[in-house]
Amino acid sequence: MAIHERSLVDPERVLRKERLVIDGIDVSGDWNLIILPRVIEDYDLSFLDEVLEQPEGKTILQCYQCSYCTASCPVHNYWDERYNPRHFIHLARLGLIDELQKRADVMWRCVSCHKCTHRCPKGVLVEEVLKAILRVMAKRGIIEEYPSKKFDKFFLESVYEYGRIEDGELLFGWIEKQGYQVVKDPILKKPIPFMGGVPEWLKQLAVKPIKSMNIGFLILNAKHMLFHPRTKNWNRFKQVLRKVMEEEGVFTH
């Protein structure tokens, strides 16, 4: 028997027999598969309230579970079937925390392409709602620090500090965070590109502009990395930014 959205059923609950005979009748073939029932009693309705408190989570109640979002989602279609935005919304509304936690390993994988939000016939801002759910999960400590969040915070630091980001610094800073040994210049303490341990593909990529004598490009990037582009009059604004982000708990979880 075909099971719709098979990925939603825990594998240990699926029973499949080679031959199945019930009351002397051989029902093998189409009917040899059984899904065991389950009992759910851990509804936590305060989870939904917390999602609704987030400015991005407000539209969660508009969802009527049509699954257009899931059908559009590239992570669901091309990466992992267990990534299912419709189902995450369902679980969050019921307050099935355990079930959400079971999927914590894929939930962060949303690439923010907004196909879901774009196509939702009910005006649910799906991508935003999912991020709100993730945030509540992080607040409650039921999802561990995941790679994209580490990167997000790393990016945010740069914006917060200077008002602008610098791609090269971001790239090499991130490489350093991944555990590679990066060499820094002694005065400004900025990573020097391609010194020390750098992934092989990146090294090769850097050889290209040198080979084609595109020195201007390299100098520009090096200059930007050493003298980070800044926004003027940033300090006063920075204080306000800090204040609102503290209120949101950005620095605590």
Partner 1 sequence: MAVALQMRKPPMGGIGKRVAYYPGCSLEGAARAYDVSTRIVAKELGLELDYLEDYNCCGAMETKNVTFWGTMLLNARNMSLAKKQGHSVIVAPCNGCSFSLQRAEYFLETDKKVFERINSLLKEGGVDPLTEIPHTYHILEWFYHEAGPEKVKERTKKPLKGLKVANYYGCLYTRPHFYARTYSHGGTEEQERPRMRETADDDEHPYYMEALLEAAGATNVEFEPMHTQCCGGPHSLSDEQVSEKFVMMILQTAKRNGADIIATECPLCHASLEMYRHRLMMKGVPDVDVPAAYFTQLLGIAFGYGAGDVKLKDNLSDPIPVLKRLGLV
User: Does 252 interact with partner 1 (rule: CB under 8 A)?
Assistant: no
Q: Which two tokens stand for residue 243?
A: 């204040």
Q: Which two tokens stand for residue 3?
A: 């099971």
Instruction: Classify strands 33-35 and 25-26 as parallel, antiparallel or unpaired.
Output: unpaired
Class of residue 137 by CB neighbours under 10 A (exposed 0-12, middle 13-18, buried 19+): buried
Stretch 159-198: interaction string toward ligand SF4, x if CB under 6 A: ------x---------------------------------
67's contact among ligand SF4, partner 1, none, with CB below 5 to 8 A by partner kind, is ligand SF4
User: Does 26 interact with partner 1 (rule: CB under 8 A)?
Assistant: no
77's contact among partner 1, ligand SF4, none, with CB below 5 to 8 A by partner kind, is none
- Least separation, in Å, of the C-beta of 160 and ligand SF4? 13
Could you tell me where the DSSP H helices lie in the chain?
Answer: 46-53, 68-72, 74, 85-94, 97-102, 104-107, 115-119, 126-139, 147-162, 167-177, 200-211, 215-226, 234-248
Which of 115, 163, 166, 190: binder of ligand SF4 (CB under 6 A)? Answer: 115
User: Does 102 interact with partner 1 (rule: CB under 8 A)?
Assistant: no
Stretch 28-67: interaction string toward partner 1, x if CB under 8 A: --------------------------xxx--x--x-----
Distance CA 45, CA 81 (A): 27
User: Does 94 interact with ligand SF4 (rule: CB under 6 A)?
Assistant: no
Residue with tokens 């899904």: 35
User: Does 63 interact with ligand SF4 (rule: CB under 6 A)?
Assistant: yes
Quick one: 16 or 212, whose CB is closer to partner 1? 212
- In order, the DSSP letters of 17-40 are -SS-EETTEE-TTTT-EEE-----
- Least separation, in Å, of the C-beta of 51 and ligand SF4? 13
Quick one: 85 or 193, whose CB is closer to ligand SF4? 85
Pick the stretch among 27-35, 113-121, 136-144, 234-242 that binds ligand SF4 (CB under 6 A).
113-121
Distance CA 230, CA 224 (A): 10
